[in-house]
Every structure is written in structure tokens, then in C-alpha cells.
Structure 1
């Protein structure tokens, strides 16, 4: 059984221009980091010309489908019936993208099949993590 889910999504960058260009993005989920999701934008789609990856909680993404969520670097909110808005705040500026809510729901359903919501803690190997932290302490 796979431990990673990757789903391409079509993101629409909200810009000053009247037409929102479509940019490729990929949602990632890894059961080894069961509380987190990542959204990656390829280098050609970014101002810096390098791949950009944002990591945030799966819970934030799910809650943002229903109502505005987030107070930090990543904020998620519904936009009409079929769109979800993700805002990414950085010192360089803010990127706002729209994605199809159906794509987000499909991704979240796949992550829930891999790791059910509420059972994420069962994926964590706390003993191994603690051993790694303590390895060089003595």
C-alpha cells in the first residue's frame, strides 16, 4: 500500500489582470507526516523561478472547504459552490489561488482512506523520534 498521495490540481492565480492564469500545482500527503499536507508549485509558475512548497495542516484544508480558516501564513476559504481559495502569505507578498473544491474533496477523501481523520497519531513512531533526538545528547 502506498504511503504517499500526490494529486495534480489546476490552480488559478488571482492577479490584477482580469484573466486569472491557470498554473499547475500538486497536493501531497505522506502518512509518515499524517497531520500535514503540502501544496507545490513548479518553478515556471513562481516569481522566483524555483519550486515553492507550502506545508499546512490537513485539518485546515478540510475546514476551509466549509468556512474561512487560518490566521497565519496559509488561509483557506470557500468561494462560491465550486471553488476554494488558498492564500499564501510570505514576507515577499501574498499569493491567492483558486482551486476546484471537488479536487480538494477528492484529495482529502484519498488521504482519509490512507489515514482516517482522528487516527493520525497511530502513524507516528514517537519512540524512534525520541531516540533520534536523544542520540547525540549523551
Structure 2
């Protein structure tokens, strides 16, 4: 079984302008970093013209399917049953996107099949990570 899950999602930027076109984004989960999810936006979809990747807790995405969650750089909340609102806060400004809840739900099911919720700690090798950290400190 693969240790990495990637799923394209359709994101719609919420802006003052009339309906914006969809932005292709990718959700990414790697068993070697079991607590985290990454969401990547391609260069053409960003103001800087470079690919942007946000990393946040998988639990944030799970909880955000049912209720508003997040106080930091990434916030998630349901918008009806069919959509999810994701806010990305940076010093340069805030981006708000809508994604289809069904796409996120499928992604989370795949991640849970790979690493069940609450059992992420079984994927972490603290001895190896500590040895690597100590080696890098020298």
C-alpha cells in the first residue's frame, strides 16, 4: 500500500469580483508525517506566481467538516453540506476558498484507511527523529 495520498480538488476563490474560475489545488497526505495535511496551489493561481503550499493538522480538516475550527493561519468551516470554506491567513493578506466537501471527505477517508485517526503516533519513530535532530545540531 502506498504511503502517500494525493487528491486534486477544485477550489473557488471567494473575492469581491463576480464568480471566480476554479483553482486546481491538491491535498497531500504522507504516512511519514501522519499528523499533517498539505494543500498546494499551483503558480498560476497565486499572486506571487509561485506554487504555494500550506501545511496544517489533519485533525483541523476533520473537525472543520462539521464545525468552524482554527485560530491560526488556517481556518476551516462547513458551508452547508456540499462545501467547505478554508481561510489561509498570511502577512500579505487572507485567501478564502470554497472546496467541495465530498472531495475532502473522500480524501479524509483515504487518509484514515492509511493511518486511522488517533493512531498517528504509531507512525512516528521518535528515537530516529531525535537522533536525526541531534546529528543536525552538531
Whether TM-score is above 0.5 comes out as yes
Cα offset, 1:136, TM superposition: 5.2
CA change 1:117–1:19 in 2 (3 A) is same
Cα offset, 1:20, TM superposition: 2.6
Aligned equivalents of 1:7 and 1:60: distance in 2?
Answer: 17
CA change 1:20–1:31 in 2 (3 A) is same
Matching of residue 48 in structure 1 with residue 45 in structure 2? no
Aligned equivalents of 2:131 and 2:67: distance in 1?
Answer: 40
RMSD: 1.0
Question: Per the alignment, in what secondary structure is the counterpart of residue 23 of structure 2?
Answer: strand
Question: Per the alignment, in what secondary structure is the counterpart of residue 81 of structure 2?
Answer: coil
Aligned to 1:131: 131
Cα offset, 1:24, TM superposition: 0.3
Matching of residue 17 in structure 1 with residue 5 in structure 2? no
Question: Per the alignment, in what secondary structure is the counterpart of residue 135 of structure 1?
Answer: helix
Question: Per the alignment, in what secondary structure is the counterpart of residue 86 of structure 1?
Answer: strand
Aligned equivalents of 2:118 and 2:48: distance in 1?
Answer: 37
Q: TM-score, normalised by structure 2?
A: 0.97
Please list every run of 5 or more consecutive structure 1 residues that lacks an aligned counterpart in the other structure.
Answer: none
Q: How many residues align?
A: 138
Cα offset, 1:137, TM superposition: 5.3
Runs of 4+ in 1 over 6 A off after TM superposition: none
CA change 1:46–1:119 in 2 (3 A) is same
Aligned equivalents of 2:74 and 2:109: distance in 1?
Answer: 21
Q: TM-score, normalised by structure 1?
A: 0.97
